[in-house]
Structure 1
Amino acid sequence: MKDGIGRRDVLRGASLLGGGLLLNAALPAWAHSGAHGLTADMPMLSGTDIKLAVGHSRFAVGGRSGHAITVNGTLPAPLVRLREGQQVRLSVTNGLDEDTSIHWHGLILPFQMDGVPGVSFPGIRPGETFHYEFPVRQAGTYWYHSHSGLQEQMGHYGPIVIDPAGADPVAYDREHVIVLSDWSFLHPHEIFRKMKAQGGYFNWQKQALGDGGAMSAADRAMWGRMRMDPTDIADVTGATYTYLVNGHGPAENWTGLFRPGERVRLRIVNASAMTIFNVRIPGLAMTVVASDGQNVRPVTVDELQITVAETYDVIVTPTEDRAFTLVAESVDRSGMARATLAPRLGMQAPVPPLRPRPTLTMKDMGMDHGAMGHDGMDHGGMDNGGALPMKMRDKSKAPPGLKVGPGVDSIAAMPVDRTGDPGLGLEDAGHKVLTYRDLVSLAPNADTRPPARRVELHLTGNMERFMWSFDGETYSEVTEPIRFARDERVRVDLVNHSMMAHPIHLHGHFFEVVNGHTGNHPVKHTVNVLPGGKVSFDLTADAPGDWAFHCHLLYHMHAGMFRVVSVRPLDGEDA
């Protein structure tokens, strides 16, 4: 029997806070939180008839208590464990005073069961119960969350593990599910209001003249003219966020147990609203065996960047009788989630300090990559003595299909495929970091047809005004969905004209990320498009219905970076 994972029931959270307060002095200020050494059984629901209740709870971390929206009273929500091939009925009762929903992220199911209000169903009204029923057609690590308002930020998310019907190609002795997330005591609508009112509101790491010796006066003037900041890596930061592992703050030291020599499977889920994490276990290599629930050829790395809504399964094999620290550092290095893998409870390993925060470069603007200056900045595309890139704001250079207006503050003049990049801030990590080009599907891709057509979509925004869109249009401005014929084979090109990474998620489908491994491209449901970069994926539109397609940064989606994909004909309709 494989051991389950540890976590905390939020309704008991306040009573558990006292045990770790004496340890706080040994941790940096950003890591101060509640209890220490917690490992408890995660509530797990399985079978063919599962009941979930959405309601209000109190959530405590760092000596404070706040209001959460939870499922069955826990944060994260209970682990839902299913088996490939079964028929499942999930009954969701809404105990809130507002509508709610559950989206089964990454699951292949009828679109009426996908759980997106206004797209695939009306939503679940207060006091009502909705019955999701569908066959389980896959195996792997997934998750579920609200698609109503900003409830996801408040705790409405949980993991899903689906065991394969046959033999698992991944051998392991023990597993732990690792749910990464971000928590703020600010109400999410207040977070959104602050970002709309002031660009970079939560960026408390703004770069000063002479900071680190890297930024010259000319470069500082250039960034100022663009009304941008090279440290503007994340919209919401450790200034308000506490980063959680299975609902625990950094000082609480959630602990996953192992016996030396065991192959331990870590099922890592990034259930954050806004945080991209860099995950590493100092002293312990990780062998990546699955991405977004789909098996890949094993690849061993020291670190990986997991964007919002992705999942990675990794195998670790600790041979020593000692503890290891699992570090999930926020992409802007403003804080971290932290846990421990250990043979016994109470053991700890050193917690590394936060690394220096990264800064954006001209590469992240989609500028000419050829003439790099001594400071790592690309000055080749600048005019006026290197003060302002000529092409960055030249909206006459906008490609066809991109509508330029106040919601578009930049055009990437020379976007490039960045699937070989490890992610922001990891270019000089000094050890092996996973890239998308390292991912090779374990099984050959199912559809070998070449794409019949290409669709280019532009990821656009205005960082100062916190406006986000596809092709320069917010969801409220769009009148037509993105249309695909049923079973059509399409190549979709995503071009990021903004200076922020965007995790793009398509509901109801998997797609193959084009990364050079023709015939075995990695199969994913979410892909991170780096600033100034582009990603292509091949899609077989084999799921009829209407499907959400959006950036999975919650506040970007809320601001308008959302579209509907319509696949027709439906069953029973004429082509």
Structure 2
Amino acid sequence: MPAIPFDRRTLIRSAAWGCGGFALSSALPAWARSGTPGLAGPMATISGEDIALSIGHAMIGIGGREGHAVGINGATPGPVIRLKEGQRVRLAVTNTLAEESSIHWHGLLVPFQMDGVAGVSFPGIKAGQAFTYEFPVRQSGTYWYHSHSGMQEAMGMYGAIVIDPAGPDPARYDREHVILLADWSFTHPHELLRKLKAQGGYFNMQKQTLSDLLAGKEQSASERRMWAKMRMDPTDISDVTGSTYHYLVNGHDCTANWTGLFTPGERVRLRIINASAMTNFNVRIPGLPMTVVAADGQNVQPVETDEFQIGIAETYDVIVQPSADMAYGFIAEAIDRSGQVRATLAPRLGMVAPIPVIRERPLLTMKDMGMGEVDMSGGGHSGHGAAAPAADPMPGMDMSGSGDMSGMDMSGGSMNMRDPSVAPQVKLGPGVATLSPMPMDRTGERPTGLEKVDHRVLTYHDLRSLAPNADTRTPSREIDLHLTANMERYMWSFDGEKFSENTEPIPFRHMERVRVNLINDTMMPHPIHLHGHFFELVTGNPGHHPMKHTVNVLPGGKVSFDLTADGLGDWAFHCHMLLHMMSGMFRVVTVRHEEDAA
């Protein structure tokens, strides 16, 4: 046979087409074995008023390899914790590690002392010690738990939480499956971070090539010159990619083929949780529409779609109704298209759904720099329906790479995109490479990588809360908060200050109503999570704004949410990309009675 030339992109895409082509793992997580051919027993579920959890070392097996993990009760992922709205629960957690640990109950409304963020809401669980979390269960829905200490979350310390409602569930279904998405690397997360600090695009194996240019694909030569002058890369979509990550469903890769059973005609509820450290996923089930019934555990008015993007730490509940006696593929594709994972929904064990060819990786555009309607891709799609008409890339501006773009200093051969007048509160320094000159609300747009697909795509604008929003007051004030970075040097922050440089909390008065505007001055999406609260995502559906605890802010975009500060105490507020949070994109929010705040 003739030799077949492989460049780096072809190699990684070939691996992604076959989900890595890994051999069947010899050691699979205990609770995730339900429905997997050759493995017996349902996934581990624990419930009741008194629950014992042990944090410790575990082993994970993927693709014929075994590696060290940090698990719960001997497994990664940990057991599903099933609770009932209105009950009280005591969770006795023992830390058997030789280092400090913690558990955060992501999305649960708990007293701040029980929130589980070491150094913010409690001292942490020291090596060899125990801590009992105790709180009333005030809500229902799909949530999850994870470590909030060091890099343990990326090493496998996470699990699902399902809370059944006290009354009838508004979503009717016959069967359910928990779908816990994750990314896993056999390289220690501290080493991943070290490599990124040494070279920001270290794991990006999908850079544009000369052959792309010669073939007339993707960007033109003038467009590429302009990006080079800005020292930016339109393929820099994910920091850590499928070049090192294995993508998992319930601890299984494609070959292990986690399988969820159904009887044709049943309404099946999928409780989908993104427990990844660094990966946003695009989720679809080819040939099977999904009806979204909850977001972040909160009920929404049912909306049917064919695909959605789930940011890190978000949850979506969907209802599917497979009618045929066949296997359907549940596909979670990394947004940079560097890899994917396929699970199977089937009427019988042993059935295997096909693995689709991974789609072409997307390119960032000028809009992702916060330049308004600018689209260097030559067109795109927006919203939930059909494609939007193509727009001129930058009307009235010279895109040859030799002109002067408004607000940008082209002197010295590079663009200065740090006009302080657009964000006077941002502390400029080496950690701020860009400021978005024209950030816009992108909550009604298709998210990264789904702009051009020919089927329905969920947007935040499609989400409407099932119950009317409880607080109808107009916010008494607004806060702008900029998401800032120097991606080349791997520095991440809020308003130009990383957490180690700014210990001043963001203060709120108890029960005040505040509008918070998140402005993304970087070219990556950021899933921003506020502990201890739900907020109303401002999407143009007044009275029925979706209630969220995590919102994914698109590159160059602006997201507004209205917050009723009803949770007294100190709360973490951070990007849920673990390496971004560890590098400084983290703040503390305080909620005090007015007399205490004074």
Give TM-score, length-normalised by structure 2.
0.89
Displacement of 1:41 after TM fit? Answer: 1.3
1:504 aligns with 2:528: yes
Q: Is the 8 Å Cα contact of residues 269 and 311 (structure 1) preserved in structure 2?
A: yes
* Aligned match of 1:378: 393
Letter in 2 for 1:146: S
* Aligned match of 1:19: none
* Aligned match of 1:562: 586
Q: Which of the numbers 391, 395, 398 marks the counterpart of 2:407?
A: 391
Note the alpha carbon deviations across 1:344-379, whole angstroms, 9 max, x for none: 001122211100000100010111425767477834
Superposed, which structure 2 residues align to 1:393-542 within 5 Å? 393-396=416-419, 397-542=421-566
Q: Percent identity?
A: 65
Displacement of 1:499 after TM fit? Answer: 0.2
Displacement of 1:127 after TM fit? Answer: 0.8
Q: Which of the numbers 278, 289, 292 marks the counterpart of 1:288?
A: 292
* Aligned match of 1:8: none
Residues 344 and 233 of structure 1: is their aligned pair in 2 closer, same or farther, counting only changes over 3 Å? same
1:321 aligns with 2:325: yes
* Aligned match of 1:272: 276
For residues 108 and 221 of structure 2, the distance between their equivalents in structure 1, rounded to whole angstroms, comes to 51
For residues 355 and 532 of structure 1, the distance between their equivalents in structure 2, rounded to whole angstroms, comes to 24
User: SS of the counterpart of 2:400?
Assistant: helix
Displacement of 1:573 after TM fit? Answer: 5.9
Displacement of 1:537 after TM fit? Answer: 0.2
Q: Which of the numbers 342, 348, 360 marks the counterpart of 1:344?
A: 348
* Aligned match of 2:315: 311
* Aligned match of 1:14: none
Note the alpha carbon deviations across 1:64-91, whole angstroms, 9 max, x for none: 1111000001111100000000010001
Displacement of 1:217 after TM fit? Answer: 1.6
Note the alpha carbon deviations across 1:234-292, whole angstroms, 9 max, x for none: 00000000000000011111000000000000000000000000000000000000000
Q: Is the 8 Å Cα contact of residues 17 and 358 (structure 2) preserved in structure 1?
A: no
For residues 310 and 527 of structure 1, the distance between their equivalents in structure 2, rounded to whole angstroms, comes to 8
For residues 342 and 513 of structure 1, the distance between their equivalents in structure 2, rounded to whole angstroms, comes to 36
1:34 aligns with 2:8: no
Q: Structure 1 regions of 5+ residues with no counterpart?
A: 1-23
Note the alpha carbon deviations across 1:522-550, whole angstroms, 9 max, x for none: 00000000000000000000000000000
User: SS of the counterpart of 2:270?
Assistant: strand
For residues 399 and 537 of structure 2, the distance between their equivalents in structure 1, rounded to whole angstroms, comes to 39
Displacement of 1:384 after TM fit? Answer: 7.2
Residues 209 and 379 of structure 1: is their aligned pair in 2 closer, same or farther, counting only changes over 3 Å? farther
User: SS of the counterpart of 1:124?
Assistant: coil
* Aligned match of 2:229: 225
Displacement of 1:386 after TM fit? Answer: 3.4
Residues 113 and 480 of structure 1: is their aligned pair in 2 closer, same or farther, counting only changes over 3 Å? same
For residues 425 and 552 of structure 1, the distance between their equivalents in structure 2, rounded to whole angstroms, comes to 20
Q: Is the 8 Å Cα contact of residues 209 and 217 (structure 1) preserved in structure 2?
A: no
For residues 255 and 178 of structure 1, the distance between their equivalents in structure 2, rounded to whole angstroms, comes to 10
For residues 106 and 371 of structure 1, the distance between their equivalents in structure 2, rounded to whole angstroms, comes to 35
Q: Is the 8 Å Cα contact of residues 394 and 411 (structure 1) preserved in structure 2?
A: yes
For residues 346 and 117 of structure 2, the distance between their equivalents in structure 1, rounded to whole angstroms, comes to 40
Letter in 1 for 2:71: T
Note the alpha carbon deviations across 1:485-536, whole angstroms, 9 max, x for none: 0000000000001000000000000000000110000000000000000000
User: SS of the counterpart of 1:385?
Assistant: coil
In terms of mean alpha carbon deviation, does 397-406 or 298-307 score higher? 397-406
Q: Structure 2 regions of 5+ residues with no counterpart?
A: 1-13, 26-35, 381-391, 409-415
For residues 133 and 327 of structure 1, the distance between their equivalents in structure 2, rounded to whole angstroms, comes to 37
Letter in 2 for 1:344: R
Considering only aligned residues, what root-mean-square deviation do their CA atoms show, in Å? 2.0
For residues 570 and 15 of structure 2, the distance between their equivalents in structure 1, rounded to whole angstroms, comes to 52
Displacement of 1:389 after TM fit? Answer: 4.8
* Aligned match of 1:250: 254
Q: Is the 8 Å Cα contact of residues 31 and 335 (structure 1) preserved in structure 2?
A: no
Residues 31 and 364 of structure 1: is their aligned pair in 2 closer, same or farther, counting only changes over 3 Å? farther
Q: Is the 8 Å Cα contact of residues 378 and 393 (structure 2) preserved in structure 1?
A: no
Displacement of 1:31 after TM fit? Answer: 3.9
Q: Is the 8 Å Cα contact of residues 31 and 249 (structure 1) preserved in structure 2?
A: no
Displacement of 1:32 after TM fit? Answer: 2.1
* Aligned match of 2:102: 101
Q: Is the 8 Å Cα contact of residues 511 and 537 (structure 1) preserved in structure 2?
A: yes
Letter in 2 for 1:175: E
For residues 255 and 17 of structure 2, the distance between their equivalents in structure 1, rounded to whole angstroms, comes to 7
For residues 57 and 414 of structure 1, the distance between their equivalents in structure 2, rounded to whole angstroms, comes to 48
* Aligned match of 1:123: 124
For residues 123 and 213 of structure 1, the distance between their equivalents in structure 2, rounded to whole angstroms, comes to 52
Q: Which of the numbers 299, 304, 309 marks the counterpart of 1:300?
A: 304
Q: Is the 8 Å Cα contact of residues 16 and 242 (structure 2) preserved in structure 1?
A: no
Displacement of 1:390 after TM fit? Answer: 4.6
For residues 434 and 38 of structure 1, the distance between their equivalents in structure 2, rounded to whole angstroms, comes to 36
Letter in 1 for 2:449: G
Aligned residues between the structures: 551
Letter in 1 for 2:102: S
Residues 382 and 52 of structure 1: is their aligned pair in 2 closer, same or farther, counting only changes over 3 Å? farther
Superposed, which structure 2 residues align to 1:173-252 within 5 Å? 173-211=174-212, 213-252=217-256
Letter in 1 for 2:24: G
Letter in 1 for 2:194: R
For residues 389 and 527 of structure 1, the distance between their equivalents in structure 2, rounded to whole angstroms, comes to 31
For residues 276 and 476 of structure 1, the distance between their equivalents in structure 2, rounded to whole angstroms, comes to 26
Letter in 1 for 2:152: Q
Letter in 2 for 1:104: W
Displacement of 1:28 after TM fit? Answer: 2.2
User: SS of the counterpart of 1:378?
Assistant: coil
Note the alpha carbon deviations across 1:169-190, whole angstroms, 9 max, x for none: 1110000000000000000000
User: SS of the counterpart of 1:413?
Assistant: coil
Displacement of 1:25 after TM fit? Answer: 11
Note the alpha carbon deviations across 1:309-350, whole angstroms, 9 max, x for none: 000000000011111000000000010121000000011222
Displacement of 1:59 after TM fit? Answer: 0.8
* Aligned match of 1:53: 54
* Aligned match of 2:28: none
For residues 19 and 274 of structure 2, the distance between their equivalents in structure 1, rounded to whole angstroms, comes to 24
Letter in 1 for 2:86: G
Note the alpha carbon deviations across 1:115-161, whole angstroms, 9 max, x for none: 00110001000110100000000000000000000100000000000
